[in-house]
A and B are shown apart, each in its own frame.
Chain A
Amino acid sequence: MPDVALNLTKQAAEQNVPILKAENLHTWFEIRKMGFFKAGDVRSLDGVSFELYQGETVSIVGESGCGKSTLAKTILGLNHITKGKLYFEGKDMSQFTKEDLKKYRANVGYIQQDPYGALPPFMTVKKILDEPMLINGIKDKEERNKRIREVLEEVKLSPVEDFLPKFPHMLSGGQQQRLVIARAMILKPKMLIADEPVSMLDASVRVEILQLLRGLQKKHNLAIIYITHDLSTVRYFSERIFTMYGAKIIEKSSTVSLLEKPLHPYTDALFKATSDPDAENLKKYKEVPTGEPPSLMNPPKGCRFHPRCAKMIVGKCDQVEPPEFAVSDDHCVACWLYEKK
C-alpha cells in the first residue's frame, strides 16, 4: 500500500491546488468568570498550517485534548476562527457568504466518532439519507431515491430494500457506522473528515470500515482527514501523518518516512507505547514519558513538550518555540534537535 500512496501524493502535488489549506490557524475559546469577566482563553488550536490535496488521506494522531477534534470542527466551520486563514480550493473561507458556506458544507462530509449518537433515533434510514438532499434543494423525488439506493449499495448495506425502513437502533455498530458514511457521501463531497470513525467498533469490523473508506476514496478521488489516537491503523490508511501535541502540529511526514523513523521525541514515545500482538511484550517494560499533557489555557514557554522530554536542551527548548525544520522532502518536524547547523 505505501508505494501507491506516495504516487498519489505526488500526483496531487503536481496539480498544485490544495483542496484545503490552513494558514496559521488559531481557535481559542474564551473562559469567563462569573459569566461576564474574561478569565483567559483555552487555546485549542494555536497556529496550525497545512495543505491537503485531492485524493490523499492525512491522519492526525495525538492524545485526547491535543486539539484534533477542534481542528476537525474548525475545518467544518462549526468553530469560530480566532486568527489565521482557511482556504478551500483557493478561496478564503472568511469571505464566504451564507450561500457559499452551504455549498462548502455539501462538499465536506463528516463522519462522527460514535455512530449511534450521530444518528437521530426517530428517523428511518431512508429519512436520514433524504434530509441532506432536501436541505440542499434536490426536489426531484425520483432522483433522491435513486441516489439513496446508490449510496447504500456503495457502503454495502444491501439488500437496500431491507434497510430503508429500519431505525438506527435496529442496526449493528458496524452497520450504523456504514450509514453515517453513507450520509456523509450522499451529496458527493470532495472531502471527508473522519473523527475517530472506528474507535467505538470491534477489531474485526474496524478493518472492514477502514477498507470501505479506502475504497470510496479511490473511487471518488476524495481527500480524507482521518483523526485517530490509534497509531496501528494509520499505516494501512493514510499517505501522510500529522502528529499533534498541545494544540500544535509538531510533526508532518509521509507515512513511510514516519514509520521508518519518527523524529519528534513525542511521536517516538507514541510509537513505543503502541503494542503489537507479540508474546515478547510480556518480558519488558515500556518507556513512557513522565507527566501529563500541558494545560491549553497556560501552555509552557518554548516547546510544549519540553517538560516531559528526555532530550530537552536547557536554555533553548524551554525558552524559544521551535519552528518547523524540513529534515527531508516529505518530513518536517518542529523540534530543536533537528535544527540545521
Chain B
Amino acid sequence: MGKILLEVNNLKLYFKTTKGPVQAVDNVSFTLEAGKTLAVVGESGCGKTSLTKAILRLLPRNVLEYSGEIKLNGVDLMKYSDEQYRKEIRWKKISMVPQAAMNSMNPVLKIVDQIVEPLLIHDRKMSKDEAVEKVKEVFSIVGLPLDFLQRYPFELSGGMRQRATIAMALVTNPELVVLDEPSSALDLLTQANLMNVLKRIKNEFGTTFILITHDIGTASELADEIAVMYAGEMVEKCHAEYFYNNARHPYSRKLMNSVPTLREDKELVFIPGHPPSLINPPKGCRFADRCDQCFAKCSEHPNVITLEHDQKVQCWLYADKMEVKQRA
C-alpha cells in the first residue's frame, strides 16, 4: 500500500432550490493512493461533477450545506479559508480539466498566454520567460507541437485543444488532477490518442488522477480503482480488476450488463426505471426501486461494508459478510 494522497470523509454538498435541498453529494468517503487513478462512473445526474466541484471547492452560490473532511496529505482542506484555498491548493496542488474542456479556453487569448497564467499567478517571482520555458516542457509531455503556442484556440482541432487544457492542468506540477469527462466530445481515434497521453503521464510522472466519466469502457484505460456513484452516494468502490470481473453492488452489475462491447457477445440488459429525485431521496437504499434483489431490509439505509480485496459496497446483501453466490 502506497502513500495515501487524498482522503475524503463524509463529504456532503447540498444545494438550495425552491423545491427543497438537492442532495447532490451525500456522505461520500474514499481514499486515493498517490500515483493511482480513481475513475468515478455513473449515470448523468448522479453527482459525479458535483463531487469534483466539492473537492476543488468551485461552488455555486446556492450551496446549502458543504461539510465533511477532505484531507490532502493528511491536512484537512476544509479548515482552509477560501482565500487560503485559492492561494495554496487550487491549481497548485489540485488542478482540473473541466467538462467540455475544448470550449473552456478564452477565445481572444493566445494559447501560451492562457497556459502561463496559473504559473504567474501562483509564483509572483517567476518571470514570463521562465514560465514559457515551463509551458514548452509540458507541451512536449502532452504531445503538442511548439508552434501551437502562438495560436488562438479556434485554430486548433478538438483533440489538440483538449491536450492544451490538459497542459494547463499539469503546468503547475499539481499532486492531483481531476479530469471531468475529458474524452466524451472527441472522436474515437482522438480519444484513444488522448488516453495514451494520459496513460504516459501517469506512468512516467506518477501523477494522481480522478477521472470522471460515464463511459465504463474508456474508464478501464486509466483506472486503478473504480467508484460507482448512484443518486449522490458512492455505492461501490474497488480495484478495477475486481470491478470488471466481479462487481458486487446490484447497480454496478446492471451497469456492466448494459454496456455494449465490441469483442464479446453478450445479451444487453437495460436498467428499467429512473434514478430517484435528489430533492427528496428515499430513506432506505436509493437503488431499491430498481433492484431485483431487493428485500425487507432495503427500506433502511445500508452501511458501507468492506469485503475481501478491499471491495467497499453499500448494500444490505453483504451485511452479514457472507459470500453471496453469483446470482443471475
Contact = CB atoms under 8 A, between A and B. Distances in A.
A202 interface: yes
Given A286-B195, A292-B157, A202 B187 contact: no
B261 interface: yes
Interface string B200-225: 10000000000000111111111110
A301 B182 CA distance: 35
A288 B189 contact: yes
Given A232-B217, A236-B268, 13 more contacts: A203-B215, A204-B258, A205-B270, A206-B258, A207-B270, A232-B262, A235-B260, A274-B188, A275-B195, A275-B218, A277-B216, A286-B192, A286-B195
Interface stretch (A29-37, A38-46, A98-106, A265-273): A265-273
Given A231-B188, A273-B188, A278 B244 contact: yes
B187 A64 contact: yes
B196 interface: yes
A314 B14 CA distance: 62
Interface string B30-56: 000000000000011000000000000
A4 interface: no
Interface in A165-210: 172-173, 202-208, 210
Given A204-B271, A277-B220, A281-B220, A270 B244 contact: no
Contacts of B110: none
B240 interface: yes
B245 interface: yes
Contacts of B270: 204-208, 211
Contacts of A229: 187-188
Contacts of B43: 202-204
Interface in A232-286: 232-233, 235-236, 259, 269-279, 281-282, 285-286
A277 B218 CA distance: 7
A37 to B, nearest CB: 24
Contacts of B271: 204
Select the residue from A204, A259, A282 with max chain B CB neighbours within 10 A: A204
A277 B264 CA distance: 10
Interface of A: 63-64, 172-173, 202-208, 210-211, 229-233, 235-236, 259, 269-279, 281-282, 285-286, 288-289, 292
B222 A286 contact: no
B63 interface: no
A276 B259 CA distance: 9
Given A275-B221, A282-B222, A289 B187 contact: no
A207 B268 contact: yes
Contacts of B268: 207, 210-211, 236
Nearest to A61: B188
Nearest to B194: A288
B240 A203 contact: no
Select the residue from A235, A259, A274, A275 with max chain B CB neighbours within 10 A: A275
A135 B269 CA distance: 38
16 contacts: A63-B187, A202-B44, A203-B255, A204-B270, A205-B270, A207-B260, A211-B270, A231-B262, A235-B261, A270-B188, A275-B192, A275-B218, A278-B244, A281-B220, A282-B199, A292-B157
A266 to B, nearest CB: 9
Contacts of B157: 292
Nearest to A285: B196
B193 interface: yes
A261 B212 CA distance: 33
Contacts of A205: 270
A231 B274 CA distance: 26
B262 A279 contact: no
A282 B221 contact: yes
B44 A279 contact: no
Nearest to B272: A208
Which 9 A-B pairs have CB atoms at the shortest separation, nearest pair first? A273-B192, A208-B270, A275-B217, A279-B241, A207-B270, A232-B260, A63-B187, A204-B271, A281-B220
A203 B148 CA distance: 35
B84 to A, nearest CB: 36
